[in-house]
Amino acid sequence: MVFNSYTFIVFFLIVLFLHNLPLAWKAKKNILLLASYIFYAVWNPPFILLLWLSTIIDFHVGKALYTQTNLYRKKLLLIISLIGNLGMLCYFKYGEFLLDNFVSLVNLFGVNYAPPETNIILPAGISFYTFTTLCYTIDMYKKHSKPVESLLDFSLFVTFFPHLVAGPIVRPEQLVPQFESPRTASKKQLFEGLLLLSLGLFMKVVLADSMLSIAADEVFNSKEILPTLDAWMGVLAFTGQIFFDFAGYSTCAIGVALCLGFVLPQNFSFPYAATGFSDFWKRWHITLSSWLRDYLYIPLGGNRNGQKRTYINLMITMLLGGLWHGASWTFVVWGGLHGLFLWGEKFVTDRMSDSKNKQANNFNGFVYALFTFLLINITWVFFRAASFSDTGRILGSMFNSIEGAKPLLTTLAIIKISIIMVFTIIIHWLMRNKSTLEVAYKMPWFITGFVWSVMIILLVWSQESGGSFIYFQF
């Protein structure tokens, strides 16, 4: 089930109605859990078994990890959890990728190996809920928090439908305490939740799907060398599409949870106003970047073991972060590019004592943000392109004007992309230290109402353009 569907609207209204009935809190939690399973089962009911397996294993292993005093047994329990979670992830997400690379490797040595054809279906959101349960067992191993006493609360923490399929990636301490006592949304929370839900759907349906996706698909699916302008416009279209799609989902998720009285962590903070790549990862997919920092980068040693080791840890983190996004070498290179840019940024800042005191809000900061945005566009080519040959064709078209290249995009499409992306950059810069709700409350009520009404009208008009969210495949 997707947020941008009439089916979800009916589903959500039913859940909202049941959640506000005068029922016992345990009954309401059971309703939320059942609703979450229904929400997920719409894609493929058998994959509910994977959710159950992951939930049951990590609930019991987590309790045992917290109480176990024998170090050998404790490590064994952690290994069981890691094998259970990462094993499922590796099989379903990386099985075909690993097999294809193994076949290519043995063929290099003259072995003609042809494996039977596989048809592995990727369960929706497996990368997200795997990371959600993994952080729990790792925290129990390190005794960072106490184990969850109720299986119902833990199950709801893992499967709560707003964040289940594409995040935000939640930590136990962020959500579990909210299940311990009765919660319903206040009038203020309901207003904020519905506003965020409307905004998220507008970002996804109107901007990502209706305005930008067609141009991005045309450019990246084309097999011809393109005019430089068309190539840049196609990449810019995807730059906007991936943000409005994923940030739109996160905004919907936060809004839906708020309508029920629950608070999910922020996942985006106007990333295209980032002044550097470290700032970008504090603003883009915040819950993933903080997860990678706390559960990968810091355990590897972080910046505690000298400059050389810091650079290595940084690159390993970004390469694995790229691989997390997809089973393809193009995603690994995408992560590697971010690692290289972070290297360069760290190299410069380590040698410029005044760089950390740079005022990000002045003109120089805006120029630096534009330069960062330019480099981010280049990295998105590797993220979106289906192969390295497609990547080379797009990059070649972007930086090498070929005479006789046939234009692909219409003038109207180019104007539309230009206007949307210029406004996106300006709004991100103006809002870089603000929140959407903060601005909404500061505006006169009639302006907020007018903007909200326009979004709803455009949503209804564009509804047939809505498709699945991009990050569902991750």
Catalytic residues: 325
The DSSP letter of residue 211 is I
Whether 4 and 201 have beta carbons less than 8 Å apart is answered as yes
Long-range own/partner contacts, residues 399-402 (CB < 8 A, 24 or more apart): 399/228, 400/228, 401/227, 401/228, 402/225, 402/227
Angle, alpha carbons 104-108-110 (nearest 5°)? 115
* C-alpha 401: how far from chain center: 34
Exposure string (b/e) for 319-348, b if CB count within 10 Å is 16 or more? bebbbbbbbbbbbbbbbbbbbbbbbebbee
Neighbours of 53 (CB within 10 A): 13
Token digits of residue 2: 């997707």
d(C-alpha 323, C-alpha 339), whole Å: 13
Token digits of residue 288: 């993933």
HSE-CB of 116 using CA atoms within 13 angstroms = 3
**144: amino acid identity, one letter:** H
Alpha-carbon torsion (198, 199, 200, 201), positive or negative:
positive
Q: Which of 42, 127, 115 has its CA nearest to residue 323?
A: 127
Beta-carbon contacts of 211 under 8 Å, excluding residues fewer than 6 positions away, are: 240, 416, 417, 420
**Length of the chain counted residue by residue:** 474
